[in-house]
Chain A
């Protein structure tokens, strides 16, 4: 059986179990009709059934007549694990420090690091692109679209500058 189909089905089966477990905590049926747990319970059961059918289908194809299936499925390209880990680390840093550091510093820093480390651009290019992009987005969002963005540690500086 294709490894990734098995992994996804096991994960989804667990998810289905979690949904059923969560649904039965709520009333399924009361004297007026279906309760808040009814719909999620039905969905959880259907979801687990579908996972079972999918596992059965892939197993039947593999053990039946098409053993080449394994090669075909497992040859799918996956991203470089290091690059992917770096991307995710950058994303979480963005989430963690966006409000405290503020938009301008965080976006410039984020774009600079991604361009420099992942895009392999020079320091000058990375700095120019990230700084210019951050400023353009800031002015477009704050002044044209009237969207408030966190000012962070530059709050006093920006407020003093903009009041002038």
Chain B
């Protein structure tokens, strides 16, 4: 283990990689501060630029953006009650109340330190867990992979939106979009409509930029959202939490770290779910739950630790199984593939320097974030003063430039515009874009493994369930799909039972 860590640091501590790490966490923090702009759109915007740099630097930079966003989103949640990120929505509840009571510094401080502790905890567990998981993954064949993909996609659908049927529809739509282009087995062109630009399929970065970045800008410029937001800055004295704050926050940080990491590992879990679960847990375990919502520091420390631990945990399935736990990880797979590297069980064997370099760079990233965040909190808040009328058009320019630079062709801009409109309409019709993007990544992998399995079993699809690992995965997926129906039936059953008792 020690040898691996040394190998990792020998790669990640190069000046070049430290620069990209710093660049990533700075951009991530800035993006996290901006309401609406998330890690998906910023990673999607920067993805084309990683063509020019080596794979380790590219992943270090993009990973830095991801966990930087978790830090940055906290600031706006606490200071102005505007969540910069979905995962920091829950921080608004008690963080903003603390700010109103003049304790913004303590709230920001505990979230920064809690995030650092949780992030570091996540990295240590990742180091211990990744190699054995990679060995297990090597034992899996096409049927197991098919089942795993189905489970992963089902989990994302289960946890993502309000309506499971709508999320399912988006998941299937994503799989359909993944079939556009040349069929890898027969070489036949599917759904290209004669366009040579679609022969290699629809680029994931273009879809993500359109659905998230441009759709957000369209909403800002089109006037769905309030065009002006009042931004008040809070005095940031006393950044360091007191001894009493630490005493009250230490257990929530520990609990948030463990729960967050576990949620991050699960496909579809992610930082948003982790922060909500942690908040619910703290409230349940608290001796004085009535303080929650009134400025309880535990309500900030727990969720903030959880979302950062989840950000690190999401790397486990990516690095060991080659499966994205969320949309950001799906984009990171894209970055790996741009450089001809396949993340998955063979990554540790074939590219140990890259594998351990990525993991050790997270220590550096977390440390840089702490240095960046504590003294520069006031500066980042000033970005909020940029009005949406100015911010919106600038976001679109970045989207268009990113799209153009993928193939040095304006067709990319057209695709982004089309998906921007689709993303905007999806918001209006209340469809979640996350399952679509994730399914688009999983689609080609799922099709390959399904077709290989069917060839292996001479077309008998039932043979897949005869494999124990595949059966377990499919069982989980099946349970998740029917669980909303089951819970509704149980609810109806119980309410009928109680109403009959009352009548008696």
What is the interface of chain A, defined by CB distance below 8 A to chain B? 4-5, 7-8, 12, 15, 19, 22-23, 26-27, 29, 32-40, 43-44, 46-47, 50-51, 53-54, 57, 76-80, 83-84, 87-88, 91-92, 94-95, 98-99, 107, 110-111, 114-115, 118-121, 129, 133, 137, 141, 145-150
A79:B393 contact, CB within 8 angstroms = no
Please give me the residue from chain B that is nearest to A7 by CB atom: B429
A32:B394 contact, CB within 8 angstroms = no
Interface size on B, residues (CB 8 A): 56
B190 proximity list for chain A (CB < 8 A) = 22-23, 26, 36-37, 40
- Which of A7, A15, A36, A114: most chain B CB closer than 10 A? A36
Residue B52 lies at the interface, judged by CB distance under 8 Å to chain A: yes
A150 to B404, CA, bound (A): 10
Known: A39-B179, A44-B176, A137-B397. A54 touches B390 (CB 8 A): no
B169:A95 contact, CB within 8 angstroms = no
| Residues 130 to 183 of chain B near chain A (Cβ within 8 Å) | 165-166, 168-169, 172-173, 175-176, 179, 183
Please give me the residue from chain A that is nearest to B168 by CB atom: A50
Main secondary structure of the interface of B (DSSP, over half): helix
Residue B475 lies at the interface, judged by CB distance under 8 Å to chain A: no
Residue B224 lies at the interface, judged by CB distance under 8 Å to chain A: yes
Known: A26-B190, A43-B179, A98-B400. A4 touches B429 (CB 8 A): yes
Q: When the two chains form the complex, which single residue of B166, B176, B186, B401 contacts A35, counting CB atoms closer than 8 Å?
A: B186
B413:A94 contact, CB within 8 angstroms = yes
Q: When the two chains form the complex, which single residue of B165, B175, B389, B413 contacts A43, counting CB atoms closer than 8 Å?
A: B175
Residue B324 lies at the interface, judged by CB distance under 8 Å to chain A: no
Residue B49 lies at the interface, judged by CB distance under 8 Å to chain A: yes
Residue B387 lies at the interface, judged by CB distance under 8 Å to chain A: yes
The 8 A CB mask of B344-357 against A (1 = contact, 0 = none) is: 00000000000000
Residue B240 lies at the interface, judged by CB distance under 8 Å to chain A: no
Known: A91-B396, A92-B417. A76 touches B428 (CB 8 A): yes
A147:B49 contact, CB within 8 angstroms = yes
Please, could you name 30 A-B residue pairs with CB atoms under 8 Å apart, sorted by A? A4-B428, A8-B429, A15-B173, A22-B190, A22-B191, A26-B183, A26-B186, A33-B451, A33-B454, A33-B458, A34-B451, A36-B188, A40-B190, A43-B172, A47-B169, A50-B165, A51-B169, A54-B165, A76-B428, A76-B430, A79-B219, A79-B222, A80-B222, A91-B420, A95-B400, A98-B400, A115-B390, A119-B392, A147-B49, A148-B408
Give me 15 other A-B pairs in contact (C-beta within 8 A), A39-B179, A84-B222, A95-B417 excluded.
A4-B428, A8-B429, A34-B454, A34-B459, A36-B185, A47-B172, A50-B169, A50-B172, A76-B428, A78-B428, A95-B413, A114-B396, A137-B401, A141-B405, A147-B49
A83:B172 contact, CB within 8 angstroms = no
Main secondary structure of the interface of A (DSSP, over half): helix
B179 proximity list for chain A (CB < 8 A) = 39-40, 43
A129:B390 contact, CB within 8 angstroms = yes
B173 proximity list for chain A (CB < 8 A) = 12, 15, 47
A5 to B430, CA, bound (A): 9
A38:B451 contact, CB within 8 angstroms = yes
B410:A95 contact, CB within 8 angstroms = yes
Nearest-neighbour CB distance to chain A for B385, whole angstroms, equals 14
Residue B199 lies at the interface, judged by CB distance under 8 Å to chain A: no
Q: When the two chains form the complex, which single residue of B176, B401, B447 contacts A141, counting CB atoms closer than 8 Å?
A: B401
A-B contact count (CB 8 A): 157
Please give me the residue from chain B that is nearest to A30 by CB atom: B186
Q: When the two chains form the complex, which single residue of A36, A88, A107 contacts B421, counting CB atoms closer than 8 Å?
A: A88
A118 to B52, CA, bound (A): 36
Q: When the two chains form the complex, which single residue of A34, A83, A119 contacts B390, counting CB atoms closer than 8 Å?
A: A119
Nearest-neighbour CB distance to chain B for A128, whole angstroms, equals 11
B389:A120 contact, CB within 8 angstroms = yes
Please give me the residue from chain B that is nearest to A141 by CB atom: B401
Please give me the residue from chain A that is nearest to B52 by CB atom: A146
Residue B289 lies at the interface, judged by CB distance under 8 Å to chain A: no
Please give me the residue from chain B that is nearest to A129 by CB atom: B390
Enumerate the 8 nearest inter-chain pairs by beta-carbon distance, A residue then B residue, closest first.
Answer: A119-B389, A79-B222, A33-B455, A36-B183, A114-B393, A84-B222, A8-B429, A39-B447
A129 to B393, CA, bound (A): 11
Known: A88-B421, A110-B393, A111-B393. A145 touches B176 (CB 8 A): no
Q: When the two chains form the complex, which single residue of B165, B401, B450 contacts A53, counting CB atoms closer than 8 Å?
A: B165
Residue B363 lies at the interface, judged by CB distance under 8 Å to chain A: no
A126 to B412, CA, bound (A): 27
B49 proximity list for chain A (CB < 8 A) = 145, 147
Please give me the residue from chain B that is nearest to A9 by CB atom: B169
- Which of B190, B393, B413: most chain A CB closer than 10 A? B393
B414:A95 contact, CB within 8 angstroms = yes
